[in-house]
Structure 1
Amino acid sequence: MTRPFACVLVDDNEINRLTLEHLIELTPELTLAASLPGSLEALQYFRQGGKADLLLLDVEMPHLTGLELARLLPQPTPPVIIVTTHRDFAVDAFNLQVVDYLVKPVDLPRFTQAVTRVLDQQRTLATPPSPELPSEAPGSALFVKVGTKMLRLNFDEVLFIEAMSTYSILVTATQKHIVYMTLKALAERLPFAHFVRAHRSYIVNTQRIDAVEDHMLQLGKYEVPVGKSYQEDFYRHLRGL
């Protein structure tokens, strides 16, 4: 899209709306389509044909929570960024495949990061589809789709892969690469036996584990938890190395 993204803001707190309206105004890629004081007004807006390229959504609102609203929106739903004072709703929010989850008060750098994720996601969706892992390069390298380009990545350098909503983050010692595949889809395509699921949100390169303590894996400067339901299979794999 070359035009600004039409943004709809839903929050029952007027001060919060004014703050987010100002952040939208400071973001050239966005334009404010509607600023609404509650979920019922938002539901009416969309049911009457209102459009949005991006929905900024509070959670705790009278009559209908933001998460309940997200489930009721007509299809196709716009990308959703949750903006709330509480972290407790994060799991439910990402189960709805929201793009990002912001905790108030929101500053401009964090807001910009969230908007950039939406823009990157929408540009990728607008790009003609191609296989994310189309071919294997010699050795431990694969071509992966990162943004709009195919990147040859040496998987020996990948420490772990983290799930983030509908995409995955490949983490090396020096870089992070966003791949527009779910962790489950990526796990099904990886040909390397030493990449093992350790948690619902993590696949780790067992060859890059420096230490294991109290169900936490040390990989360089990072720590990754071993999920309770994954512990038996994961540790069996480690003992077999």
Structure 2
Amino acid sequence: MTILIVEDEAIVGMDLAARLDAEGYDVLEVADNGKDALALFKANEVDLVLLDIQLKGSWDGIVTAQHLKQIKLVPFIYLSGQTDDETLERAKETSPSAYLTKPISNVALRISIDLAIHNFAKAKDETSNVKALNIVTKEPNATRESILQIDNFIFIKQSYQFNKVKLSEILYLESDNNYVHIITSSKKYTLRLTLNGVLERINFDKLVRTHRSFAINIDQIESFNDHEIIMGKHTIPLGRNYKDDFMRYFDFL
């Protein structure tokens, strides 16, 4: 996840960046005013914004949030030492994901980011048919992990944080009893789910079942024969019961 920090106090901004980095997040930059923040937001892929209300320049954090929302909707969290009614009312009009008062603990920061991503994905599902995917209670140990989908990305929750994965970079899914391994070109993620459970929750038509224990990203195939599929250094079985469905993805010339 890429996070933009907008904070006018340099020491506070550097401290936040260091804490987020230690949690495994990617901090884009720390901006100290709204106009610089807007420029960074336009030029980069940002997943979440931490936004101080008191900023340098003519825009405060609330005005900055209004400008950011005109470019692209992402979750944002206000940071402030101000708790007066007027500030809170202005802030509420911009529908922030959270409002944290300084000083900010690591636990509060982590929970707020977690909830911000979760609620944002859920809201997008309700308004624009983008899937927000939460593990249902019938899955084993359902409360520990979840998958969220926003456009062409999924966020896989592991070790109390969401990890962003581009759908096109998934190579294959592998079932291991009650677990599923999601393999990308560079990483492996493991969820306590069934393979059917994951396939039902990911809206990506390039994922094709090739075996009772495997589903592949058909765009990542390098070669195949009657029994197996080659994807770089990976060899995936092609089961007899799945071969006909697999071949339907190809045009015969």
Q: TM-score, normalising length from structure 1?
A: 0.48
TM-score, L = length of structure 2 = 0.46
> If you compute each CA radius of gyration, which structure gives the higher value, 1 or 2?
2
